[in-house]
Every structure is written in structure tokens, then in C-alpha cells.
């Protein structure tokens, strides 16, 4: 009697088990691909934030040094390159962060009205009003080993007192 039971089985359970195994394999492969994409997104976001912070640090360091004064010696429109030794350069995982910057003296322009200045800011510069020296700082940071880079500009206006201004005690 036992011999007849084996002949009636046609392997339906085996087919169902293989189908379920195939579905589980496809789900696992899909989840591995999604996790790889998410890892790349997180890495790109981290690289983007690193170069953003690097370029902002470069702007701050350049604007707070004497490169603004050195740029005034240049004729308007010419750039004064900041030496790379004065700029942030850091080793990070996956590469190194390098920055470059230049400062350009743009020229003179009337200053906007500024609160707290004891000069007439409403008068034109020719009438004894306040003028500003305008500078432009260009900074760029790159993360080697990736395509991540950031470039920012900073405008700086330095107030210049009129030539006919007198100091009083």
C-alpha cells in the first residue's frame, strides 16, 4: 500500500517551494541594490557638505586677512591669488579637501546708508558723502577622489571717509 502512495505524488510542493525561493531571491537582490543606492546618496551628501564647509572656511579666512589690503594695490579687475599654504587643506576619508581663493579690487562705489556712522551717507561722494571700496573674493573647494566641488563669491565693501572729512574730539 505504501508503494502506491509514492506513485500518486506529482511534485506540486517542490514547484511551490521553488517559486517562493525565486520570489525571496528577487526581493533580496532588490534590497541590496536599494541599499547600495542609499549608500551612494549618503556619500555624495557627505562630500557635498564637506566642500561647502571648506569653501565657507576659505571665504572667512580670506576675508579676515590682509589680502583685502593687498588687492587694493592691484588695478581694478585684477585678481590677487591667495597662497594655498594660507588656506584650509584637510585629509578626509576618501581623499583630501583642497581650496583656492583670489581677491579682486573692483573699485569705488557709493555706500548704502549705514546706521551708526557719524557721516552723511545720503550725500553723493562728490558732495562729501561716503564711498566704499568694493572687493570680490572668489573661493573654491574640491574633494579629491570625488567630483564634489563648491564655488562661492563674497562681496566686501570697505567704507572710505571723504577726503574733506575732519576729525573732531
Walk along the chain (169 residues) and give the pLDDT tens digit of each residue. Answer: 555 656 666 788 889 999 999 999 999 999 999 999 999 999 888 888 988 988 998 888 888 767 777 777 766 667 788 887 888 777 777 678 889 898 888 888 887 766 665 555 455 555 556 788 888 899 999 988 888 899 999 988 887 766 655 555 4
Does this model's pTM top 0.75? My answer is no
CA pair distance 61, 141, nearest whole angstrom: 13
- 137 CB-contact burial (10 Å; exposed 0-12 / middle 13-18 / buried 19+): buried
Number of domains in the chain: 1
117 neighbors 166 (Cβ within 8 angstroms): no
Range of the domain at 60: 39-160
Residue 27 lies in a domain: no
CA pair distance 114, 129, nearest whole angstrom: 12
Residue 139 lies in a domain: yes
DSSP classification of residue 116: T
CA pair distance 31, 82, nearest whole angstrom: 48
Amino acid at each position: 500500500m505504501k508503494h502506491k502512495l509514492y506513485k500518486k505524488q506529482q511534485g506540486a510542493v517542490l514547484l511551490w517551494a521553488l517559486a517562493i525561493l525565486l520570489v525571496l531571491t528577487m526581493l533580496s537582490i532588490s534590497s541590496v541594490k536599494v541599499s547600495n543606492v542609499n549608500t551612494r546618496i549618503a556619500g555624495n551628501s557627505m562630500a557635498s557638505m564637506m566642500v561647502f564647509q571648506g569653501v565657507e572656511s576659505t571665504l572667512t579666512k580670506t576675508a579676515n586677512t590682509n589680502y583685502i589690503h593687498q588687492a587694493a594695490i592691484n588695478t581694478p579687475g585684477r585678481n590677487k591669488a591667495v597662497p594655498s599654504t594660507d588656506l584650509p587643506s584637510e585629509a578626509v576619508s576618501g581623499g583630501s579637501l583642497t581650496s583656492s581663493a583670489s581677491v579682486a579690487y573692483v573699485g569705488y562705489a557709493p555706500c548704502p546708508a549705514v546706521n551708526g556712522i557719524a557721516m552723511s551717507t545720503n550725500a553723493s561722494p562728490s558732495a562729501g558723502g561716503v564711498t566704499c571700496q568694493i572687493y570680490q573674493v572668489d573661493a573654491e573647494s574640491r574633494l579629491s577622489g570625488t567630483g564634489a566641488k563648491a564655488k562661492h563669491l563674497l562681496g566686501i565693501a570697505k567704507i572710505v571717509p571723504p577726503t574733506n572729512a575732519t576729525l573732531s574730539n
